[in-house]
């Protein structure tokens, strides 16, 4: 979905000023991209209507940066579509809280039971697993194996009535003070009455705190239909989207909440038992939109960093005439782009909160270079001890800071030289500045 969507958005927003007509045409393409990604038809239609309405709003079209606004609106509406914020698990006031996992065969229930148990253990809970899939001979064994891998006890009673097993598991959990009971249930290849009846009986006997429907993201629109059918029968409390690592389209993620009204609470992102993540609609939207705010980043970078400057920098690096003066110019450009923090927060998989970047980190080198004479900036090799001491004093830093900067500069010079080897020279000749 990302590529198609990005293409459509770029086409629409690439021309600076936006007209209502351009938005409408662009949105038609966005709609096609959504449908191809297996987003539910009604959901796509409604989504496009909302986004278009907001995009042709007077303030967007007349703004100086309509392209960024359109992308922002698409992002916001997608986030909204998937439930806005991360939906947390509910806990019961009495022990144990009971989480029942259900879904079709192969959706990833058994794996997810263990993933969830491992995840909750890290949160300080004491989970226990109950094996209520008694039909496939290997099912109980499988749960025991993954349970052991995450160090969580597994309750099983062989092939006895799973309703009875579930009930006994609660007693057992209470006795051993396990505060979360996670129930693994049977699946079928298709939804059938027998399975639904069994799940209903378990549900009505144990009154789960959470009934989490596990669906395979890779099955796209089928996952959504399955979710709808299960929810109508069982009234689930949430959805777990597995195999998101293999889902390149995002159709299920985008449609499930809108179709069922039930939030996606967790996602499975790989076969390893640590491959579980709470589902964050905003992060998913960014991912679908093409990894972080790369589009915005590119726009910003292009604005601030004009190509001529970049060319000058590269040429100097090539001829080994890179000076600290150029270094300073580079830092100025970075500043224009909104500083390190905001740049990094726009990269895929990063958000400003998660990383500790000190925008002040750029202030020191700047101060140091500014305290140098033009001659020193051009030829750092003349920086002897007494000069370094003077510069440190002048810039309010230490000699060590000055040394660090000079070392970094020398490294940058070296790197440039290496990058601009024979190959680089050729590439540079072919570039127009």
Interacting residues with ligand GDP (CB under 6 A): 103, 105-111, 187, 242-243, 245-246, 268-271, 275
- The answer to whether 238 and 263 have CB atoms below 8 angstroms apart is yes
Q: Which does 245 bind (CB under 5 to 8 A by kind): ligand GDP, Mg ion, none?
A: ligand GDP
For ligand GDP, give the closer residue by CB, 110 or 296.
110
* Shortest CB 203 distance to ligand GDP, Å: 17
In three-state form (DSSP H/G/I as H, E/B as E, the rest C), the secondary structure along 64-112 is CCHHHHHHHHHHHHHHHHCCCCCCCCCCCCCCCEEEEEECCCCCCHHHH
* Shortest CB 188 distance to Mg ion, Å: 11
Please enumerate in sequence order all residues whose Cβ is within 8 A of that of 77, keeping only pairs 6 or more positions apart, or say none: 47, 50, 51, 54
For Mg ion, give the closer residue by CB, 87 or 104.
104
Structural Rg of the chain based on CA atoms: 29
For Mg ion, give the closer residue by CB, 185 or 260.
185
Distances (CA, A) of 128 to 55, 113, 232, 372, 398: 50, 10, 28, 66, 57
Q: Which does 108 bind (CB under 5 to 8 A by kind): Mg ion, ligand GDP, none?
A: ligand GDP
Q: Which does 52 bind (CB under 5 to 8 A by kind): ligand GDP, Mg ion, none?
A: none
Burial of 205: CB neighbours in 10 Å, binned 0-12, 13-18, 19+: middle
Site residues (CB under 5 A) for Mg ion? 109-110
CA distance 288 to 254: 9
For ligand GDP, give the closer residue by CB, 26 or 187.
187
* Shortest CB 197 distance to ligand GDP, Å: 19
- Using DSSP bridges, classify how beta strands 276-278 and 264-268 pair: parallel, antiparallel or unpaired: antiparallel
Q: Which does 261 bind (CB under 5 to 8 A by kind): Mg ion, ligand GDP, none?
A: none
* Shortest CB 96 distance to ligand GDP, Å: 21
Q: Which does 106 bind (CB under 5 to 8 A by kind): ligand GDP, Mg ion, none?
A: ligand GDP
- For residue 156, the 8-state DSSP code is -
For ligand GDP, give the closer residue by CB, 110 or 221.
110
* Shortest CB 53 distance to ligand GDP, Å: 36
Residue nearest to ligand GDP (CB): 268
The dihedral region occupied by 40, where left means phi > 0, alpha psi between -120 and 50, and beta the remainder, is: beta
- For residue 214, the 8-state DSSP code is E
For ligand GDP, give the closer residue by CB, 243 or 300.
243
* Shortest CB 11 distance to ligand GDP, Å: 33
* Shortest CB 102 distance to Mg ion, Å: 10
For ligand GDP, give the closer residue by CB, 133 or 326.
133
Residue nearest to Mg ion (CB): 110
* Shortest CB 133 distance to Mg ion, Å: 5
For ligand GDP, give the closer residue by CB, 48 or 107.
107
Q: Which does 103 bind (CB under 5 to 8 A by kind): Mg ion, ligand GDP, none?
A: ligand GDP
- Cross-sheet strand order for the sheet of 154-155: 154-155, 127-132, 180-185, 97-102, 210-216, 238-242, 264-268, 276-278
Q: Alpha carbon 340 to chain centroid distance?
A: 20
Q: Which does 243 bind (CB under 5 to 8 A by kind): ligand GDP, Mg ion, none?
A: ligand GDP
Q: Which candidate, 18, 164, 30, 187, places its Cα nearest to that of 102?
A: 187
């Amino acid at each position: 979905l990302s590529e198609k969507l990005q293409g459509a958005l770029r086409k629409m927003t690439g021309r600076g000023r936006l007209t209502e007509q351009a938005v409408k045409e662009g949105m038609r393409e966005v709609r096609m991209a959504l449908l191809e990604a297996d987003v539910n038809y009604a959901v796509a239609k409604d989504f496009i209507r909302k986004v278009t309405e907001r995009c042709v709003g007077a303030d967007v079209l007349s703004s100086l940066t309509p392209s960024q606004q359109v992308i922002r609106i698409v992002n916001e509406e997608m986030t909204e579509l998937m439930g806005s914020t991360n939906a947390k698990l509910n806990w019961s006031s009495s022990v144990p809280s009971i989480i029942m996992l259900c879904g079709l065969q192969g959706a990833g229930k058994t794996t997810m039971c263990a993933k969830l148990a491992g995840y909750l253990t890290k949160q300080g809970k004491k989970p226990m697993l109950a094996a209520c899939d008694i039909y496939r001979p290997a099912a109980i064994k499988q749960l025991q194996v993954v349970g052991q891998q995450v160090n969580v006890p597994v309750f099983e009673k062989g092939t006895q009535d799973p309703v009875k097993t579930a009930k006994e598991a609660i007693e057992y959990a209470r006795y051993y003070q396990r505060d979360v009971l996670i129930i693994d249930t049977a699946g079928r290849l298709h939804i059938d009455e027998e399975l639904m009846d069994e799940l209903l009986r378990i549900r009505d006997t144990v009154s789960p705190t959470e009934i989490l429907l596990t669906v395979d993201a890779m099955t796209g629109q089928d996952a959504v239909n399955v979710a709808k059918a299960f929810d109508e029968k069982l009234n689930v409390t949430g959805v777990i989207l597995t195999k998101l690592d293999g889902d390149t389209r995002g159709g299920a993620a985008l449609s499930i909440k809108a179709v069922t009204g039930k939030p996606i609470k967790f996602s499975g992102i790989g076969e390893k038992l640590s491959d579980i993540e709470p589902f964050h609609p905003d992060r998913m939207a960014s991912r679908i939109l093409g990894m972080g705010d790369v589009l915005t980043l590119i726009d910003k970078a292009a604005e601030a960093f004009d190509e001529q400057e970049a060319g000058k920098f590269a040429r100097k690096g090539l001829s080994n005439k890179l000076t600290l003066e150029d270094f300073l110019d580079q830092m100025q450009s970075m500043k224009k782009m909104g500083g390190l923090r905001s740049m990094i927060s726009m990269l895929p998989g990063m958000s400003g909160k998660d990383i500790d970047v000190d925008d002040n980190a750029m202030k020191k080198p700047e101060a140091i270079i500014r305290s140098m004479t033009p001659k020193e900036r051009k030829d750092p090799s003349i920086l002897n001890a007494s000069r370094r001491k003077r510069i440190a004093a002048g810039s309010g830093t230490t000699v060590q800071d000055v040394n660090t900067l000079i070392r970094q500069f020398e490294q940058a010079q070296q790197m440039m030289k290496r990058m601009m080897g024979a190959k680089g020279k050729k590439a540079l000749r072919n570039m127009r500045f």
